[in-house]
Each structure stands twice: as structure tokens, then as C-alpha cells.
Structure 1
Amino acid sequence: MGSTPRKYTQEYKDEAVRLVLDSDRSLAEVARSLGINESTLGNWATKAKKDSDSDEKPLSVSERADLIELRKK
């Protein structure tokens, strides 16, 4: 009937969130490629943002686009 929830290490969660933040792929694309539920990855990303002690403001859409272009070069 019911399945047991899978357990993920903190390192795995951190790397999955890093894939979302550091790539031009959407959260849904990353979740599909890793074979995990989109909402699970979303929860991890939300928690990582809350846990961040950084006072830096997030990149704007144009800044993120510039960063993606620079990484491609």
C-alpha cells in the first residue's frame, strides 16, 4: 500500500538546491532529472534561503541573465 519515504543526506539536498540556483534550469527540470518530487525540492530550496545568513539581496532577473551569459562564455 503505502511507500516509505526516502531519506536524503544533507549533502544531497544542498547539491540539489545548488543545481537550481546555479543553473539556468527550472526547479521542475532539476527535480525531474534527479527523480524527486518538485515540491520536495521546492521545500529544500525555501529552507536553504531561510537558513542563509547572507545579507545580500537576490539577483534581479537581468542580473541573473547576465550571469548566465557570462558563464556560457
Structure 2
Amino acid sequence: SDIVTSVLDVSQPCEVNIAIYDISGRCAMERELEIDCRGEVEIELDTGKLSCGVYEVKVLSNAGGDKSRFVVVR
């Protein structure tokens, strides 16, 4: 599948910036989302246009940030 699912634990409604970086640090994709609820929120990211390789997802909001990695294999 070309979809990566990221689960965010949101303590209050907020604006979230999600960026995907390739292994060299180049930004491959970026999205801004307005989250209107609290609790766990699933966000789906379409990786269909990304080349094979290792990527890092960085999630930033006014409440803080987090990062994780995933691999695209075709």
C-alpha cells in the first residue's frame, strides 16, 4: 500500500504541521492540518509519489513535536 498511517495524541484542538524528509534531509512532502478534536487522531499520508528509501516524519504543533521513520519499498 502507498499509505502510511500516523497516530497523533492530541490534548486540545490545534494546527499541526507534518513534514516528510528523505535520508539526505530534503523535504519530500509537507501538510498542514487543523485538528478539531482531542484524543487519538489517525492521519493517512499518501507515499505513492515517493521513491524507495528511508524517510522521517516530523510532526509539529504549538504543543510540541515528535518524529518517526518509515521505509518505502516497491
Calculate the TM-score normalised by the size of structure 2.
0.22
Structure number with the higher strand fraction is 2
Structure number with the higher helix fraction is 1
Structure showing greater Rg = 1
Compare relative contact order (CA 8 Å, sep 6+) and give the higher one, 1 or 2: 2
Calculate the TM-score normalised by the size of structure 1.
0.22
